[in-house]
Structure 1
Amino acid sequence: MIPNAGNFANIHGSCVAVAGRGLLILGPSGAGKSALALQIMALGGQLVADDRVDLLRQGDTVIARCPVALRGLIEARGLGLLRAEALEAAPVALVADLAQAETTRLPEQRQIKLLGLPVALALRGGGDHFAYGLLQYLRGGRVA
């Protein structure tokens, strides 16, 4: 469920940050949320939260935090829970929805509402470049 009202929500997902900008990764169980987070971390991103993410609305920004019990932990299927240095929080700049596949080569800009605020949305991309593309999106933004 995507929270679109209120000032706080605890959701199933993962979050990593690049250059101080959070990527919230959503999708059903087994969709690859933790795997994508690990890929972004291997490319220099920082863990915020894995499995559960606390979202807090602060003015015009949605902040992602990790529930205390899960702080600094990320699941790697077949390896178990791994320790990772984690950021305290990050403003959510982009949401990647792994439940929906992108079918357009140059898609329109999409948004999703989190706690009533619009946030940029990317659908699951095909090919091996998805993590790289998300990383660059967070670093440099997107052309309209």
Structure 2
Amino acid sequence: MTAGATVHASAVLVGDRAVLIRGPSGSGKSRLAFDLILAGRAGQLPQAILVGDDRVHLDTVAGQLLVRPARELGGLIEVRGLGIRHCDFVGEATVGLVADLAANDAERMPSPEALFIRLNGILLPRIPIGAGYAPLPLIAAALMTTAGSGSVQPLDDCSKGIGNHISPNIATE
């Protein structure tokens, strides 16, 4: 087990894995955490519950990255316009996804290397999110879909050769 590092981040347990939310001050970490919780309550995502907001501890145990709230901040979340609020939380979760807000390497089609990060020796999926982009849809897409495979073939009538257009058969039936 590695010594627990305290990091400036938020984390939300979505289903059975936590989303670790990192970014500079004011980038929307608390907002994204609250949005994930609301999306879980609305049934748009699996159940989501706060792990920690603003500062969390990271530990490596048995090949997994665990996240815990900073003791003095357990169950507290900042809601802009309302201040610090109390909410349900869990004391520990396994990180399954890292969301980097205001990421300098965010691109429309990120390189495969940008979609992973090694934290405390553990390789994790990562989403680099550019400043000004809504992070919730990207997180939801990452949680609800799988990466594209090389077996996808473009449609014969696709002038761009990308295959992201509606088939004429579907549109005309």
**Aligned equivalents of 1:117 and 1:7: distance in 2?**
14
Q: Which of 17, 23, 26 does residue 22 from structure 2 map onto?
A: 26
Check if 1:117 corresponds to 2:117: no
Query: TM-score, normalised on structure 2?
Result: 0.72
**How do 1:85-100 residues align onto structure 2 when only pairs under 5 Å count?**
85-100=88-103
Query: What is the CA distance between 1:105 and its match in structure 2?
Result: 3.6
Q: Which moved more, 1:34-43 or 1:104-113?
A: 104-113
Query: What is the CA distance between 1:139 and its match in structure 2?
Result: 4.7
Query: What is the CA distance between 1:80 and its match in structure 2?
Result: 0.3
Three-state SS of the structure 1 residue aligned to 2:112 is coil
1:11–1:104 CA distance, 2 compared to 1 (3 A): same
Provide runs of 4+ in structure 1 moved above 3 Å: 125-128, 139-144
Check if 1:104 corresponds to 2:108: yes
| 1:26-64 Cα shifts (integer Å, max 9, x gaps) | 011001100111111110121000000111100110001
1:87–1:136 CA distance, 2 compared to 1 (3 A): farther
Three-state SS of the structure 2 residue aligned to 1:100 is coil
1:64–1:141 CA distance, 2 compared to 1 (3 A): farther
Query: TM-score, normalised on structure 1?
Result: 0.85
> RMSD across aligned C-alpha pairs, in angstroms?
1.9
Higher relative contact order (CA 8 A, sep 6+): 1
1:27 maps to a residue whose letter is: G
How many residue pairs match? The answer is 138
1:58–1:10 CA distance, 2 compared to 1 (3 A): same
1:22 maps to a residue whose letter is: A
More strand, by proportion: 1
Bigger Rg over Cα: 2
Unaligned runs of at least 5 residues, structure 2? 41-47, 150-173
Unaligned runs of at least 5 residues, structure 1? 1-5
